[in-house]
Amino acid sequence: MSTEPRYWGVIPASGVGQRMGGELPKQYLTLFDKTLLQHTIERMISHPRIAGVVVAVAQHDEHWRSFENSFGDSVTWVTGGAERYHSVLNALQALSQFAALDDWALVHDAARPCLRAGDIDHLIDEAKTGIGGILAVPVSDTMKRANRDGDITETVNREGLWRALTPQMFRIGLLIDAIEHAMTQDFPITDEASAVESLGHAPKVVAGHPDNIKITIPQDLELAHLYLQTQKSETT
């Protein structure tokens, strides 16, 4: 039996996506006749290095049942929590029942359907030698800080600044410990890396492709449509 750690996808999908302004949670909006969540799951389970995926959905969410069985045993469904990090923790605890604590979890936003296989490889190859890491994109725009009235109070030096993307990859046991520690210390958990940082670790940033966008507002859906078309043309 192999002792090599395996890689698993974790997708928190219990949010409601209020900024989209629709009746459906944004992960169930349709793109090329599939929901965003379906696209995202497929991006993960189709990758040869991903052993399986755990998806956390809201307690009273029934939308996922329409495609629940379409992925077979590759996908495990669990109930999410009130906040994103609760959903991630629930998924990790379920994952730990059949995966080793030294295996790696790649936590990926449900509304990022344009994830490239090459970026998964790049993240794994770069982050597996250390504590773990995240996909990110260097900040290229001039950064401004403003007050509540919208007045600029400061121009922020963008050197060394990155926009955090997902997946964010850490060992299952470490990430469970990190989230639980951050929760007990009331440390703000803005993403998985922030929880790991609360333990004093310094995760690695791994440059990803900027088309790995998160669907947040309606215009993002149009952009994702364009990106998926472009990606398809690149592989045909």
CB neighbour list of residue 88: distance below 8 Å, 6 or more residues apart: 10, 12, 56, 107, 175, 179, 192
Q: Is the pLDDT of residue 23 over 80?
A: no
The answer to whether 103 and 171 are in contact (CB under 8 A) is: yes
Q: Which of 104-113, 121-130, 183-192, 226-235 has the lowest mean pLDDT?
A: 226-235
pLDDT confidence tier of residue 20, bands split at 50, 70 and 90: low
Q: Is the pLDDT of residue 51 over 80?
A: yes
Q: How far apart are CA 53 and CA 45, in angstroms?
A: 7
pLDDT digits (tens, 9 = 90+) for 26-39: 899 999 999 999 99
203 or 24, which is more confident? 203
Q: Which of 17-26, 53-62, 203-212 has the lowest mean pLDDT?
A: 17-26
203 φ, ψ (degrees, to nearest 5): -60, 160
What average pLDDT does the segment 9-37 reach? Answer: 83
Length of the chain measured in residues: 236
pLDDT given for residue 2 in this prediction: 52
Q: How far apart are CA 21 and CA 120, in angstroms?
A: 31
Q: Largest alpha-carbon pair distance within the chain? A: 61
pLDDT given for residue 16 in this prediction: 66
For residue 223, count other CB atoms closer than 10 A to its CB: 14
pLDDT digits (tens, 9 = 90+) for 109-122: 999 999 999 999 99
Q: How far apart are CA 199 and CA 112, in angstroms?
A: 27
Residue type, 206: V
How much of the chain, in percent, has pLDDT values that exceed 70? 96
Mode of pairing for the β-strands spanning 30-31 and 7-13: unpaired
pLDDT given for residue 233 in this prediction: 87
Q: How far apart are CA 113 and CA 44, in angstroms?
A: 10
pLDDT given for residue 22 in this prediction: 60
Average pLDDT over all residues of the chain: 93
- Cross-strand partners of 35: 30
Does the bond joining 25 to the residue before it have cis omega, within 30 degrees of 0?
Answer: no
Q: Which of 128, 175, 203 is nearest to 12 (CA)?
A: 175
pLDDT given for residue 235 in this prediction: 76
What average pLDDT does the segment 181-189 reach? Answer: 95
Domain ranges of the chain: 7-115+167-201+212-234
Mode of pairing for the β-strands spanning 132-138 and 162-171: antiparallel
Instruction: State which fold the 7-115+167-201+212-234 domain adopts.
Output: Spore Coat Polysaccharide Biosynthesis Protein SpsA; Chain A (3.90.550)
